[in-house]
Chain A
Amino acid sequence: MTLGAIGFTAPWLLLALAALPLLWLLLRAVPPAPVRRRFPGVALLLGLRDDDSVTDRTPWWLLLLRMLALAALITGLAGPVLNPERDEAAQTGPMLIVLDGSWASARDWPAKEALIGTLLDDAARAARPVAFLRLTAPEPPVFRTADAWRGQLAETAGPAPWEPTPRMMADAAGMLGDETFETRWLSDGLAREGRAALLAALRAHGSVTVHESPAPILALRPARVTDGALELTALRARPGGAREITVEAHGRDPSGTPRVLATLPLAFAQGETGAAGALLLLPAELRARLSRFEIAGQRHAGAVSLTDDGLKRREVALIAGREDREGLELLSPLHYLKRALEPTADLLDGALADILPANPDVIVLADVARLSGAEQAGLLDWAEAGGLLVRFAGPRLAASDVSRSEEAPLMPVRLRAGGRSVGGTMSWGEPKTLAPFPEKSPFSGLAVPDDVTVSAQVIAQPDPTLAERVIAQLSDGTPLVTRKRIGAGQVVLFHVTANAEWSSLPLSGLFVQMLERLAVSSAVAPPDPGEVEGTTWQPVQVLDASGKLTDAGTLPGVDGAALIKGPVGPGLPPGLYEGPDRWLALNVVTKDTEFAPVAWPAGTAVTGLAKPAATPLGGWLMAAALVLLCADIAAALALSGRLWPARAAALLLAALLAVPQPGAAQGRDKALEAALDVVLAHVLTGNARVDETAQAGLRGLGETLAFRTSVEPAPPAGVDLETDELAVYPLLYWPVTPNQPIPSAEAYVKLNAYLRTGGLILFDTRDADIAGYGAASPNGQKLQRLARPLDIPPLEPVPPDHVLTRTFYLLRGFPRPLRRPSDLGRGRAGGCRAGRGDAVSQPQRQRHPGADRRQRLGGGLGHRRGRQPALPGGPRLCRRASARDRLPLRRQPGDARADRQLQIRSGACAGAA
């Protein structure tokens, strides 16, 4: 029911307003309830009559006040709501929930799910049938009862890692049928072709309300390699204020564990929609391991950019047969190779035996004839595992009898003795030029310049396999480059030298192109659509809408051309695809993607994802009723002459309390509050449960402290490392979760300053119950990453005479992990004694399944029951002494020197469950 601009959720209650006149009479007639008193003097009272003239004459304004209060109460209870047209209960008939269902919806999916839940609740209450239409996978809407949809929201309405194409939208518009329904459109906020048409189609069936989150969508374009650096560009749909985001580069570390290898802050300038930045100085090793880039905190597929072979710089090992000709650079067999490869590949230098374990992508042997047995075996293994061995001929190879009578394993062909020399002063004929490359050759299509001549070469023995192994030949048909596959790898022999002695090939641009084609240098360019036409690419890992990589499982392969052309869609999920000889990443956001916020036509009702913004007025009316009733009390007291100063003050106080505190009062300066008292702090991890646990644990710790010591801490505070002042907290408790964001560089500056000025950080990996000591668990690894930028000196085992053993509570033994070297942060054990320098900081680490159990220390710490304590103060204190309680104690001023010693705390309560 609506009344002007106000609707009522419980309009029948308004009937109670009719009772107000009745109330008028009652209020006038009924005196207050009597007090019963025992009083012997009643005998003297008998027969005394009340003065009628003063009993019930309530002034009209007081009655009006009461009536107003009651009217406000009744109206408030009737649930008045501003904006009646958005009132759920007012709508009837079927409801269609349209979802974009794109990757951009994934970030707000929890909120959307909640909204859908609310919509379903309302629909269920009003017995309205509901249907879903997901634009990324349009199906004709089926209207069912609201309850029937519950439990399968994720399947019917969950986001997909692609976005609806205009064709899908048109299909969806065609599926609407001719029913009349109300539409709720949960949009992702990105402009898209076909939206307007669909909106018009939906409007033809009934009213349309659009829900979309005002938070801007961020996306990440694929990384590009520019001048050796990785360039990343982030986009946002709506130009807004300046904003900083962090891009994380994920990959596997040398031990194969996925982790964040690097972070890159990107800044959106005011009013800009793009932010670009480059990851410089990323070692090639690291770069080769990158698997994806991700905007931190954005949980959708558009914020994830998978990388493929395109980013990797190949590692090329160059090994020459003669290394002893110093100074003759132009004659060095490796000079031209180095010049050709340096811009695009990483060159390794060294002895073959040293290089092989580094597992380079390519090994170039320039005029190396003989290999030792071990070297040859190692090379063979390496090549069979996929290595590319490129050999160049030269005087040594020509002079040796390698692969003479029978083919050497590491030579593609047999060689004739001596080779040949053409066009020289002592020989007949002209230097030979190159023939066009045969079609099957990897070089096919490269233009052959005329000025490339060959004056000397080694000659291949004609063998049955020779023809298929030749991939380049001279104009007279002599093989110039031959190739043989060894397992997954191959060996390629250039029948000329790598310098300009035998041919002018190394001087030409063709040389570089040939190396590129051989994938000696990085295989950068994405393949042409024509090149991959007809090939099948198998998905290895696919990206879901929320940006998580999952194994592709048994997904069918896709056609190469479709993979290159895109766009991603139902048959072509984004992910990592494996092709004939390379991997290709298919991302949601390509390098050409541009965003724009959707512009809904005027008159469209657009709201946020919160429950449709009906402004309830009930609370205000109730408050008004309360205030009026308070005024009534005061007035009634004043009338009867009983408004004493004390009562008036109490009333005033109550009225003041009833007035809502302004927001500013609540947001008192956090640092100021912390400075006024001892406040234990915990680092906010972003995981609500962990934060809550930490809060509860610190509160418990505070209670224990207040109970046992003279320290009485204020309630603990959660600290945002980026924004909060740290210096005011004596203790920072830092629970480690695997997916908490790594603080920014500025935050680390603050943290280091905090540590240097005597701060205490207590890391808690919370995994003592499942992990040992070290970096074996995800939390341990995360701790190492978190602690790496911290200025922590090497650690040492706690010595027996450490201050921990000599504080107020005497300890004879430590829990087991404290007795051995630790590897916090640096992975180094032992080292110099921490705590000798003045600027030594105090990160403490504990491994504990839950901070809230900190009070339940077992007997393993401190004195066991029954053993005589060494402290004369009394066994009770000793027995209950908790080393954990001591941490903040030690943080209090006093024993400053001892404060500065470094602790590691671990596993103290592993079993306390």
Chain B
Amino acid sequence: MNHTARLRSSLRSRAETEAARLPPLLARAEHLAGTVLLGEHGRRRAGMGDDFWQYRPVQPGDERRQIDWRRSARSDSQYVRQREWQIAQSVGIWVDNAAAMGFASDKALPAKSDRARLLALAVAILLNRAGERVGLAGADLPPRRGEAQMMRLAEALIRDGEDDYGRPQAAGLATHGRALFISDFLGDIGAVRNALTAAADRGVKGVLLQVLDPAEEAFPYRGRTIFESMGGTLSHETLKASELRERYQARLSARKAELRALCTGTGWQYGLHHTSESAQSALLWLYRAFDAGTGPGTGAGR
């Protein structure tokens, strides 16, 4: 009884805390998304949809009932009315919520997880406005549309995980859908490789955004230090931390190169974002990446 009550109360207090965080995250994401809405988000090709796209001369193979008689009556040739292709894509988002993402080297900098969630939600909002269905990778939240989905997304995003390092999940991604993985990717690279390979197998293309703290790039440490992972499961002791800097940076760039190679191999796009940079530029890049990825024949950023 007592235990249950305590559990309930702690659940309640946690819920309150989360609820308090939710509106700001949504609001910030909306705000961020508002700055990036640069124009229509059409597929820019003919297809299934509601909006008019173009009239084109009838070609062999067109069914007769496809001919737009009103347009054809104004000229000698016959035209077919095409609508813009407005297929709704399913986008699965995976945001690393592991403990490692909670790192911020400076009080003035946001934690990596903070930035990652913000970007993810902002992208989700943008995609939602563009008519895509957005959900979370994994079985938690299947892709849907609408404002309610945004709320659910935000709710799901602010949950903290307990692992030290996150493992990307390819499960739950719609076949031939799109995906967005945001993480620091400092953990086991094998999990990333597996996820990406599995996604590519299912025809899923997407974006891999690596979010890093500046300290993780610069490694500004000196002296005898015991480095511990955020969850405390890993530790490494050194007598002269500054001696490690170059080797660490070499390893980090190797990791980046590996990720990039992985993305190239699977047709994904790789992006790197630092928490010291502005979120807007990252969002812009993400938006463009999605846009380019969905647009036919436009290979920019691949």
Q: Which residues of A contact B (CB under 8 A)?
A: 31-46, 48, 50-51, 54-55, 642
Contact = CB atoms under 8 A, between A and B. Distances in A.
Interface in B81-120: 100-101, 103, 112
B139 to A, nearest CB: 27
Size bracket of the B interface: 35 or more
A629 B252 CA distance: 41
Which secondary structure characterizes the binding site on chain B?
mixed
Given A36-B228, A40-B186, A50 B248 contact: no
B224 interface: yes
Q: 4 shortest A-B CB distances, which residue pairs?
A: A40-B100, A42-B227, A34-B224, A44-B251
A43 B254 CA distance: 13
A184 to B, nearest CB: 59
B239 A40 contact: no
Contacts of A38: 103, 227-230
B239 A31 contact: yes
6 contacts: A33-B224, A39-B229, A41-B219, A46-B234, A48-B238, A55-B239
A700 to B, nearest CB: 43
Contact of A35 (B224, B247, B252, B255): B224
Contact of B184 (A40, A48, A642): A40
A40 B240 contact: no
Given A48-B247, A50-B243, A642 B222 contact: yes
B77 interface: no
Contact of B229 (A33, A43, A642): A43
A365 B6 CA distance: 121
B244 A41 contact: no
A44 B248 contact: yes
B236 interface: yes
B203 to A, nearest CB: 31
Which of A33, A37, A46, A642 has the most CB atoms of chain B within a 10 A radius of its CB?
Answer: A37
A792 B251 CA distance: 92
A43 B103 contact: no
Given A50-B243, A51-B243, A37 B221 contact: yes
A43 B239 contact: no
Contacts of A54: 240, 243
Contact of B252 (A41, A46, A55, A642): A41
A240 to B, nearest CB: 65
Nearest to B255: A44
A228 B234 CA distance: 108
A38 B99 CA distance: 11
B226 A34 contact: yes
A642 B240 CA distance: 13
Interface string B211-247: 0010110010111111111100011111110011001
Given A48-B236, A50-B238, A51-B243, A43 B165 contact: yes
Contacts of B47: none
B187 interface: yes
Contacts of A45: 227, 236, 238, 244, 248, 251
A56 to B, nearest CB: 8
Given A39-B229, A42-B236, A48-B244, A32 B251 contact: no
B189 to A, nearest CB: 10
Contacts of A42: 227-229, 234-236
Contacts, number: 92
A34 B230 CA distance: 18
Interface in B170-227: 184, 186-187, 213, 215-216, 219, 221-227
A32 B238 CA distance: 11
Which of A35, A39, A40, A50 has the most CB atoms of chain B within a 10 A radius of its CB?
Answer: A40
B78 to A, nearest CB: 64
A527 B105 CA distance: 104
A39 B228 contact: yes
Interface of B: 100-101, 103, 112, 165, 184, 186-187, 213, 215-216, 219, 221-230, 234-240, 243-244, 247-248, 251-252, 255
Given A31-B239, A36-B228, A50-B238, A41 B222 contact: no
A35 to B, nearest CB: 5
Contacts of B224: 31-35
Nearest to B223: A35
Contacts of B165: 40, 43
A41 B226 contact: no
Nearest to A40: B100
Contacts of B230: 38, 40
A35 B165 CA distance: 23
Given A33-B224, A34-B226, A45-B248, A50 B240 contact: yes
B182 to A, nearest CB: 15
Which of A37, A41, A51 has the most CB atoms of chain B within a 10 A radius of its CB?
Answer: A41
A48 B248 contact: yes
Contact of B223 (A32, A41, A51): A32
Contacts of B222: 642
Given A36-B226, A39-B221, 11 more contacts: A34-B226, A38-B230, A40-B100, A41-B216, A41-B252, A43-B234, A44-B186, A45-B248, A45-B251, A48-B236, A50-B243
Given A34-B226, A35-B225, A48-B244, A40 B236 contact: no
B240 A37 contact: no
B245 to A, nearest CB: 10
Contact of A44 (B226, B237, B252): B252
A42 B213 CA distance: 13
Contacts of B229: 38-40, 42-43
A37 B244 contact: no
A33 B112 CA distance: 30
B234 A37 contact: no
B248 A34 contact: no
Contacts of A51: 240, 243
Nearest to A52: B239
Contacts of A40: 100-101, 103, 112, 165, 184, 186, 213, 216, 229-230
A39 B227 CA distance: 6
A40 B230 CA distance: 6
Contacts of B247: 48
Contacts of A48: 236, 238, 244, 247-248
A382 to B, nearest CB: 101
Nearest to B228: A38
Given A43-B165, A44-B186, A44-B251, A37 B243 contact: no
Contacts of B252: 41, 44
A33 B226 CA distance: 10
A233 B100 CA distance: 96
Contacts of B103: 38-40
Contacts of B216: 39-41
A168 B186 CA distance: 100
B3 to A, nearest CB: 31
Contacts of A34: 224-226, 237
A33 B239 CA distance: 10
B162 to A, nearest CB: 15
A32 B225 CA distance: 10
Contact of B226 (A37, A43, A46, A55): A37
A596 B225 CA distance: 77
B168 to A, nearest CB: 15
Contacts of B221: 37, 39
B115 to A, nearest CB: 14
A55 B240 contact: yes
A642 B242 CA distance: 12
Contact of B225 (A37, A44, A55, A642): A37
Nearest to B103: A40
Contacts of B112: 40
Given A41-B186, A42-B235, A43-B186, A35 B240 contact: no
Contact of B228 (A33, A37, A44, A642): A37
A80 B225 CA distance: 42
Contacts of A44: 186, 248, 251-252, 255
A512 B175 CA distance: 152
A39 B99 CA distance: 11
